[in-house]
Structure 1
Amino acid sequence: MGIAERWSRRGGRQAGDEALIRSLYEEHGRSLLAYATRLTGDRAAAEDVVQETLVRAWKHADDMVNQKGSVRGWLLTVARNIITDRARARAVRPTEVAETPTAPPIQRDHAQSVVDSMAVLSALNTLSAEHRDVLVEIYYRGKSVTEAASTLGLPPGTVKSRSHYALKALRTAMAEQPAEVTR
């Protein structure tokens, strides 16, 4: 007994919808899933395609049952069309890129850091040469107090003292700059 006979025996669309879909799945589910899996290369995607195919079969039950030709051919054609539509939709969308350890996430705009650097350099130019030299050695070049003292030919205590007063003078110079330069 074919699908059309079973469907019509159950009293048409209202009573036979569930029976129609069950019988379609029982008769054609495995081959439909195998076909969709072969086309998509992904079992989960293929299961979604089979489900969507059966939903469309349910929506167009009258056309499918009264149509000349095979039901299996109709189902396979619908499945192929669904897969084609999904592939076209993916091709139109921009590709999704996952974060990888080699490609860090996009960082915030660096314009503010450039402005801040310019403000610090401007303030550094207002300091005395002794204070500026100490700050450059310790903060820019990353040297320790002992290394900076050796480079500058000063005792370590003098480097510590100059760095303290240099930072204090730098803060004052930064505070005196116009607001649009520092922000």
Structure 2
Amino acid sequence: MTVDARPADELLTALHAEHADALRRYVLHLTADRALAEDVVQETLVRAWQRPAVLEREPDAARAWLFTVARNLVVDDARSARRRREVGSDDPVEEVQPDRTDAVLDGIVVADALAGLSPEHRRVVVDAYWLGHTVPEIARRHGIPEGTAKSRLHYGLRALRLALQERGVTR
């Protein structure tokens, strides 16, 4: 074993320059995956950098150590659960779905606020805003005068606004 007086970064640079291309070809031959080969070479050189004693070895011993580490990384990747359960694809995702978390949470808050209304007010508000009925249609559906339907809608919306304010949704 020879001890080189150069700093570790210089030794690693020299090790990379001397062995990286051959190491990349070796791993590419084992995996047939260019991206994986790049990752394995990078991880192998990081491990060499973390062990300064490797950098100070004779060139043939350092090369053997690098190829052994690379082969072990390839074997570990092949045995990993990720490799056995995940299937990569170059095809784009067919349809991207937007995140609906905020809409779901808003729906829960509104449903909770609606539950706090009287049944008469809740029915009129739901008929008007979720079912899209007009005041005359609501009056006919529930057998009440139009003025009563309009009044229930007004007071129901006011109570709903207060309930949402209590939950911190509106000002």
Bin for the TM-score computed over the shorter chain: 0.5 to 0.7
Structure 1 residue 143, shift from structure 2 partner: 2.9
Over 6 Å off, 4+ runs: 86-90
- Mapped partners of 1:30, 1:163: distance in 2: 80
Aligned to 1:47: 38
Aligned residues: 147
- Mapped partners of 1:117, 1:133: distance in 2: 10
CA contact (8 A) 1:21 1:54 kept: no
Aligned to 1:79: 70
TM-score (norm 1): 0.50
Is structure 2 residue 26 aligned with structure 1 residue 35? yes
Aligned-pair RMSD on alpha carbons?
A: 4.7
- Mapped partners of 2:123, 2:11: distance in 1: 88
1:43-122 → structure 2 map (5 Å cutoff): 43=35, 45-58=36-49, 59-61=52-54, 64-65=57-58, 71-83=62-74, 91=82, 101-105=95-99, 107=101, 109=105, 111-120=108-117
Larger Rg: 1
**Structure 1 unaligned residues grouped into runs of 5+:** none
Structure 1 residue 28, shift from structure 2 partner: 2.5
What code does the residue aligned with 1:139 have?
Y
Is structure 2 residue 22 aligned with structure 1 residue 25? no
1:104-143 → structure 2 map (5 Å cutoff): 104-105=98-99, 107=101, 109=105, 111-120=108-117, 123-125=118-120, 135=125, 137-143=127-133
**Structure 2 unaligned residues grouped into runs of 5+:** 87-92
CA contact (8 A) 1:40 1:83 kept: no
What code does the residue aligned with 1:49 have?
V
CA contact (8 A) 2:135 2:149 kept: no
TM-score (norm 2): 0.52
Structure 1 residue 85, shift from structure 2 partner: 5.4
* Residue-by-residue CA offset, 1:70-115 (whole Å, 9 max, x unaligned): 5443211112334455677874xxx9xxx98554436154643442
CA contact (8 A) 2:54 2:62 kept: no
